[in-house]
Amino acid sequence: MSQEMDGKVKKVTGQVKEAAGILTGNEKLEQKGAAERAEGAVEESLGKARRKVGELVDAVAKAIKE
């Protein structure tokens, strides 16, 4: 799976844990979920950036060949 997708999965998992922590009054689970959500968001952003750079490199390579 790509870094972007891994980040999305981690972000959603964190959101679920955070919500479960809020609903059950479990602060530890809520905090763990918030941290996982934030980590997932960063990982997703890095994956998007990596994908965009790859697309740009491909476009430049294609333009050079033409």
| Interval 2-51: pLDDT, tens | 999 999 999 999 999 999 999 999 999 999 999 999 999 999 999 999 99
The pLDDT-based confidence of 1 (bands split at 50, 70, 90) is confident
Give dist(CA 11, CA 5) in Å, integer.
10
Give dist(CA 22, CA 25) in Å, integer.
5
Residue 56 has pLDDT above 90, yes or no: yes
Give dist(CA 32, CA 20) in Å, integer.
11
